[in-house]
Structure 1
Amino acid sequence: MSTSFPEDPSALYHVSPRYLAGPVDIGDPALRPLLDQNWSLDKDPLGNVFLTAPDHSARLGYLAEGEDETLWKIAAYEDPFGAPLWVSTFSSAAPVEIVEGFTTALAQQYGDDAHLHGPVRPAARAMEPLLKAGWARTDEPGYISFDSPDRLAGLSYRKHVLNRAAELRGGEDKWLIRGGAGAASWDAACTSLVPVALVTAITTAITDPAPVVRHHAQVRHLSRETVTVTPLRPTPTAGGGLEQPTRSQAAKSRSGLSLAAALESPAGPPARAAGSAPAPATPRHR
Structure 2
Amino acid sequence: MSTLPDPSRHEEVLVSPMYLAGSNGTGDAGFAPVAHWPHHYLDDGPCQLLVTSPDQRIRIGWFGDDFELWRITAGEEAVAAPRWTATFNHVTPAEIVAGLTTALAQDYAESDPYEGNGRFLADPSVYWTDSLQPLLDAGWRRGAAKYGTVEITAPDGQSGVLIDNRLSGWDDETVTFWAGPQGWGTRAEAVFTARTPSHLIAATAAAMASSAPVIRERHMIHREMEPLVTLAPVGPAAAPRVPHAPTPLDVRRTAVTEAVRRATHAPRTAADLRMMAAQSRTTSSAQKRSSALAPGAAAQPPAVSSARQHSR
The amino acid of 2:71's aligned partner reads K
1:27 aligned onto 2:27: yes
Q: Which of 54, 57, 76 lines up with 1:78 in the alignment?
A: 76
Higher relative contact order (CA 8 A, sep 6+): 1
> How high is the sequence identity, in percent, across the aligned residues?
29
TM-score by structure 2 length? 0.69
The amino acid of 1:132's aligned partner reads D
Distance apart, 1:118 and its partner CA: 5.6
CA contact (8 A) 1:87 1:190 kept: yes
Counterparts in 2 of 1:1-286, with a 5 A limit?
A: 8-36=8-36, 38-46=37-45, 48-66=48-66, 69-111=67-109, 112=111, 113-117=118-122, 119-138=124-143, 139-160=145-166, 162-164=168-170, 167=171, 172-181=172-181, 182=183, 183-219=185-221, 221-234=223-236, 253-255=243-245, 257-262=246-251
CA contact (8 A) 1:102 1:202 kept: yes
CA contact (8 A) 2:39 2:49 kept: no
User: Structure 1 residues 7, 135: CA separation in 2 closer, same or farther (over 3 Å shift)?
Assistant: farther
Structure 1, residues 188-208: CA drift from partner, whole Å, max 9, x if none? 011111111110011100110
Alignment RMSD, CA only?
2.4
SS at match of 2:195: coil
Distance apart, 1:263 and its partner CA: 6.2
In structure 1, runs of 5+ residues without a counterpart are 1-5, 236-244, 265-286
Greater mean alpha carbon deviation, residues 133-142 or residues 20-29: 133-142
Distance apart, 1:123 and its partner CA: 2.4
User: Structure 1 residues 79, 56: CA separation in 2 closer, same or farther (over 3 Å shift)?
Assistant: same
CA contact (8 A) 1:28 1:259 kept: yes
Separation in structure 1 between the aligned mates of residue 14 and residue 224 of structure 2, nearest angstrom: 13
The amino acid of 1:94's aligned partner reads T
User: Structure 1 residues 109, 261: CA separation in 2 closer, same or farther (over 3 Å shift)?
Assistant: same
Rg larger in structure: 2
Instruction: Say which structure is richer in helix.
Output: 2
In structure 2, runs of 5+ residues without a counterpart are 1-5, 112-117, 254-312
Question: Which residue does 2:264 correspond to in 1?
Answer: none
CA contact (8 A) 1:42 1:263 kept: no
Distance apart, 1:225 and its partner CA: 2.4
Separation in structure 2 between the aligned mates of residue 197 and residue 42 of structure 1, nearest angstrom: 30
* Number of aligned residue pairs: 235
